[in-house]
Amino acid sequence: MKIILPSYQEPGTWLENAQMLDPQQWVDGIELLFFSYDDDAQAILKKELPGLRDLAARFSYSLHMPDPLSPKCEELIEATSDFVSLYIFHPLKSSTNFTSDKEQGQKNLEHWAGLVTSFQQSFQAERFAMEFTDLTSFQQAEHILKDCMVCADTGALLRYGIEPSVWYAKYSSRITEIHLHSIRNDKDHYPLSKKDEWLCPLLAEIEKAMRPDTKDSKPTGKSPLRINLETFALEDSKTSYWVLMEGRCNP
């Protein structure tokens, strides 16, 4: 199991946050957040690439790709593929598919899936994982990308009334990263709490899948599993870490 944090733990760039996290020995990796890949993002990345590469021996990187995906994302993958292990992407929003013209909606989905497939073919399929963001969008995308690796997001699952442990058990053989965070009043990206009743059943499923010698285990095929404590302040991430560690010791 690797403990991952998003690249925004305090205001600053990807490299500034990575350098700040370097002394935090409990942090194994960083999710580089790219919500866009515009001119500003490209300029910052070009400047910071050497420093991020230098820290690749210290951190295991995943990269959250811009949404929606575009052909330009291939430039981002090419620039980072020598040190990023995993690329996380969102399914195409269902509103993009369900237009008044159903035929056009299907074409939109197929065009998007073709883009994902081209990335997989060029940079290895197992390096791309589709994140659960909402039920309809995920189901539509999974129907056309049947064997794609996936990323569990506990906040999104909880907002849709889905028990994270049940979803994990279903997809464990394809899950490469988990975005682990809580919800409060239907809003996500809150730190974990001892009051989160869903957490211990999920951790039990994770532990079972990590034991290949057990009869019922389902090996992920991508070990160690990446546990991304997806909160956006270091103190919140520390809170999640200690709740997680206590939960693992006392399932």
% of the chain exceeding 90 in pLDDT: 84
What confidence tens digit (pLDDT) does each residue in 74-111 have?
999 999 999 999 999 999 998 665 556 778 888 889 99
Q: Retrieve residue 121's tokens.
A: 């073919």
Contact assessment for residue 210 and residue 225, using Cβ atoms and an 8 Å cutoff:
yes
DSSP classification of residue 63: E
Residue at token pair 């960083």: 30
pLDDT of res. 47: 98
Pairing of strands 84-89, 149-153: unpaired
The pTM is what? 0.93
Grouping H, G, I as helix, E, B as strand and the rest as coil, residue 8 is: coil
Q: Which residue has the higher pLDDT, 250 or 163?
A: 163
Contact assessment for residue 243 and residue 190, using Cβ atoms and an 8 Å cutoff:
no
What confidence tens digit (pLDDT) does each residue in 198-236 have?
999 999 999 988 876 545 545 444 458 999 999 999 999
